[in-house]
C-alpha cells in the first residue's frame, strides 16, 4: 500500500513536470537546445539582444541549407520572442539595453544535457574523497558530545603533524596525477554549474515578491501590516529553500575578504599547474571567471532586494498608513483620558432611543397594499436591423509572406540573381500593392542579410483603403542570392 501511495504521488508530480518549461524545452526541436547550448556557457550567461538575433539568424541560415523544416515567415526575432513566452529565456534590461539569458529551468536543462553528452565521468577519486570528507565533517559538526569532537580534532592534528614531520625529513609530498587532477578540476566545474540556476531561481522568487508588493501599493486591497507580513513570510520561506541557502552561503563568502583572497589564490595556483593544459579553453575560462560570474548574479539578487525594500518603504510611508498611526494615537490618548478621569465627573451612558411612534391606530402605519402598485410602462422595442444596416470597417490586409518570398525568388531569377525592392513590388498584382506589403518586403530584406544602400532611395506607389494613392520613399534594398 505504501508503494502504491508513493507511485500515485510520483504520478501527480510527473503530470506537473510535463507542464513545466524544462519539460517543454526537452520535448522541443533539437536545434533549439543545440543553439542555446552553444550561445550560453558558464562564462557567458547573458548575450545582448542584437548579437543574439544575429547569431540565431546565421544558425537558421545553415539549417535551411540543410533543408530543415522551419517556419518561412519567422525571422530570428520571432523565435526569440516565442522562447521568452515559453519561459525558456528571460529578456532583462541591463544598462539601458535588452539582453537574453536562460531562465532557471533552461539552465538546469542545459546542465543536464551536458552530463548526458559529456565524455568525462564524474566518478573519480577526487569526487569520492569529497564525499568521504563531507560525511566526516557532517558527523563531526552534528555530534553534541564534546569528548568525541575533541578526540576527532586531536586525531586530525596528529595526522597533520606527522605529515609535516615527514616533509621536513625529505619525504616527497603526495601529488595527484595529471588525470586525477583534471578529473578533480572538472568535478569542481560540475559543482559550480548548478549555482547559476540557484541564483536565477532566487532572483525570480524575489521578483515575484516585488511584483506582489507593487500590486498591493496600486490596489491597497489589504491593510499595511497584512501586506508587509505577507512579504516577510514569503522572504522567510524563500530563504529556507535550497536556493536560499546557497545564496546566503555565498553572501557570507562575499562578506569575508579572507575567504575570497584564499579562493582567488587557489584558483590562480591551479591555473598555473601543468595539468590544466589538458583542460579545454572554455573550462579554463570558466574556472578563472567563476567568482566574477557568481558575484554578478548575487549582485542582481541584492539589487532586486533593494527595490523590494524601497517598495516596502513607500508602502509604509503612504498617507493611509500615516492616518492610521494618528488614529491609533488618538484612540490611545482617549483611553488614557477616560481611565484617569474621576468617577463623579463621568457622564452616564443613556440608552439609545431606537424609535418613537406617533400613531394611535394600525391605520397610521400606512401598510403597503400590493394591489395599489402601478407597474411602469414597457420599454420600446429595439429597432430591427437588416444585413444592409451592417457595415464593416475596411482595413489593410496583413502581408502575404509566402507570396512575397516567392515574388522575391522570381524577381531574382528573371534579373540575373539581383533585384531591388521596387522590382519585386511592381511585379505583384494590384491587390497586393499596399502599405503592409512594403513593410513585409522590408522585413524580408533586412532579415536575410541583403544589400541596403541608405544613400539611395526608391519611390513606391500604393493605394489606401479609402481609394487614394500615396507614395512611399524607402532606402535602396537589393535582394541577392545567398
Reported confidence tier of residue 153, pLDDT bands at 50, 70, 90: confident
Reported confidence tier of residue 92, pLDDT bands at 50, 70, 90: confident
The 10s digit of each residue's pLDDT in 325-378 is 677 777 878 877 777 776 655 566 666 555 555 655 555 556 667 777 777 788
Q: Which residue has the higher pLDDT, 399 or 257?
A: 399
The pLDDT of residue 40 is 84
- Eight-class DSSP state of 240: T
Task: Name the phi and psi angles at 69, rounded to 5.
Answer: -75, 110
The pLDDT of residue 296 is 73
pLDDT above 90 covers what percent of the chain? 0
The pLDDT of residue 320 is 55
CB 326 within 8 A of CB 228: no
Residues 174, 402: Cα–Cα separation, whole Å: 69
Is the confidence at residue 57, as pLDDT, over 70? yes
Q: Which residue has the higher pLDDT, 395 or 89?
A: 89
The pLDDT of residue 221 is 47
The pLDDT of residue 33 is 86
The pLDDT of residue 130 is 66
Q: Which residue has the higher pLDDT, 281 or 239?
A: 281
Closest CA relative to residue 396, chosen from 470, 448, 474, 476: 470
Q: 457: helix, coil or strand?
A: strand
Q: Find the Cα–Cα–Cα–Cα dihedral 451, 453, 459, 462, rounded to 10°.
A: 40
The 10s digit of each residue's pLDDT in 163-197 is 888 878 877 777 777 777 777 777 777 776 666 66
Work out the average pLDDT over 310-315.
Answer: 62
Question: pTM of this prediction?
Answer: 0.40
The 10s digit of each residue's pLDDT in 434-477 is 888 888 888 888 766 677 887 888 898 888 877 788 888 888 88
CB 260 within 8 A of CB 291: yes
DSSP secondary structure string, 182-219? Answer: HHHHHHHHHHHHTHHHHHHHHHHHHHHHHHHHHHHHHH
The 10s digit of each residue's pLDDT in 19-55 is 888 888 888 888 888 888 888 876 677 888 999 999 9
Q: Find the Cα–Cα–Cα–Cα dihedral 97, 100, 101, 105, rounded to 10°.
A: 130
Is the confidence at residue 288, as pLDDT, over 80? no
Is the confidence at residue 60, as pLDDT, over 70? yes
The 10s digit of each residue's pLDDT in 214-226 is 565 555 544 555 5
CB 140 within 8 A of CB 154: no
The 10s digit of each residue's pLDDT in 221-280 is 445 555 566 666 666 666 666 656 666 766 776 677 777 777 778 878 877 878 788 887
Work out the average pLDDT over 402-414.
Answer: 87
Task: Name the phi and psi angles at 415, rounded to 5.
Answer: -125, 40
The 10s digit of each residue's pLDDT in 116-140 is 765 455 445 555 666 666 677 767 7
Is the confidence at residue 91, as pLDDT, over 80? yes
Reported confidence tier of residue 1, pLDDT bands at 50, 70, 90: low
Residues 229, 401: Cα–Cα separation, whole Å: 54
472 Cβ contact partners less than 8 Å away, ≥ 6 residues apart: 435, 438, 459, 460, 461, 462
The pLDDT of residue 392 is 65
The 10s digit of each residue's pLDDT in 196-215 is 666 667 677 666 666 666 56
Amino acid at each position: 500500500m505504501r508503494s502504491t501511495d508513493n507511485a500515485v504521488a510520483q504520478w501527480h508530480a510527473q503530470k506537473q513536470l510535463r507542464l513545466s518549461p524544462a519539460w517543454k524545452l526537452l520535448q522541443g526541436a533539437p536545434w533549439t537546445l543545440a543553439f542555446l547550448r552553444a550561445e550560453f556557457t558558464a562564462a557567458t550567461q547573458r548575450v545582448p539582444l542584437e548579437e543574439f538575433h544575429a547569431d540565431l539568424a546565421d544558425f537558421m541560415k545553415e539549417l535551411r541549407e540543410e533543408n530543415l523544416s522551419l517556419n518561412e515567415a519567422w525571422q530570428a526575432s520571432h523565435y526569440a520572442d516565442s522562447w521568452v513566452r515559453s519561459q525558456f529565456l528571460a529578456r532583462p534590461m541591463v544598462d539601458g539595453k535588452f539582453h537574453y539569458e536562460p531562465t532557471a529551468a533552461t539552465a538546469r536543462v542545459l546542465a543536464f544535457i551536458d552530463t548526458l553528452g559529456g565524455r568525462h565521468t564524474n566518478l573519480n577519486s577526487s569526487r569520492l574523497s569529497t564525499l568521504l570528507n563531507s560525511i566526516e565533517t557532517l558527523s563531526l559538526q552534528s555530534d553534541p558530545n564534546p569528548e568525541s569532537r575533541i578526540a576527532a580534532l586531536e586525531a586530525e592534528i596528529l595526522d597533520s603533524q606527522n605529515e609535516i614531520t615527514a616533509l621536513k625529513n625529505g619525504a616527497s609530498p603526495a601529488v595527484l596525477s595529471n588525470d586525477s587532477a583534471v578529473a578533480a578540476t572538472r568535478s569542481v566545474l560540475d559543482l559550480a554549474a548548478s549555482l547559476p540556476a540557484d541564483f536565477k531561481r532566487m532572483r525570480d522568487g524575489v521578483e515575484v515578491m516585488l511584483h506582489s508588493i507593487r500590486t498591493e501599493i496600486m490596489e491597497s486591497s489589504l491593510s499595511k501590516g497584512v501586506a508587509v507580513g505577507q512579504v516577510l513570510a514569503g522572504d522567510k520561506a524563500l530563504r529556507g529553500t535550497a536556493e536560499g541557502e546557497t545564496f546566503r552561503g555565498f553572501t557570507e563568502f562575499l562578506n569575508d575578504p579572507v575567504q575570497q583572497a584564499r579562493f582567488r589564490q587557489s584558483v590562480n595556483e591551479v591555473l598555473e599547474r601543468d595539468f590544466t593544459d589538458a583542460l579545454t579553453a572554455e573550462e579554463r575560462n570558466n574556472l578563472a571567471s567563476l567568482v566574477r560570474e557568481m558575484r554578478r548574479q548575487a549582485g542582481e539578487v541584492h539589487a532586486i532586494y533593494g527595490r523590494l525594500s524601497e517598495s516596502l518603504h513607500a508602502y509604509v510611508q503612504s498617507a493611509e498608513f500615516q492616518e492610521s498611526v494618528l488614529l491609533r494615537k488618538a484612540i490611545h490618548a482617549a483611553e488614557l483620558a477616560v481611565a484617569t478621569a474621576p468617577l463623579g465627573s463621568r457622564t452616564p451612558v443613556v440608552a439609545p432611543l431606537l424609535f418613537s411612534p406617533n400613531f394611535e391606530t394600525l391605520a397610521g402605519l400606512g401598510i403597503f397594499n400590493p394591489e395599489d402598485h402601478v407597474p411602469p410602462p414597457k420599454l420600446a422595442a429595439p429597432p430591427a436591423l437588416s444585413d444592409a444596416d451592417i457595415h464593416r470597417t475596411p482595413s489593410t490586409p496583413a502581408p502575404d509572406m509566402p507570396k512575397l518570398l516567392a515574388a522575391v525568388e522570381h524577381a531574382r531569377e528573371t534579373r540575373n540573381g539581383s533585384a531591388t525592392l521596387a522590382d519585386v513590388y511592381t511585379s505583384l498584382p494590384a491587390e497586393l500593392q499596399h502599405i503592409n506589403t512594403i513593410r513585409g518586403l522590408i522585413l524580408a530584406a533586412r532579415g536575410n542579410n541583403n544589400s541596403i544602400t541608405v544613400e539611395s532611395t526608391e519611390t513606391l506607389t500604393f493605394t489606401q483603403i479609402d481609394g487614394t494613392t500615396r507614395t512611399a520613399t524607402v532606402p535602396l534594398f537589393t535582394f541577392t542570392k545567398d
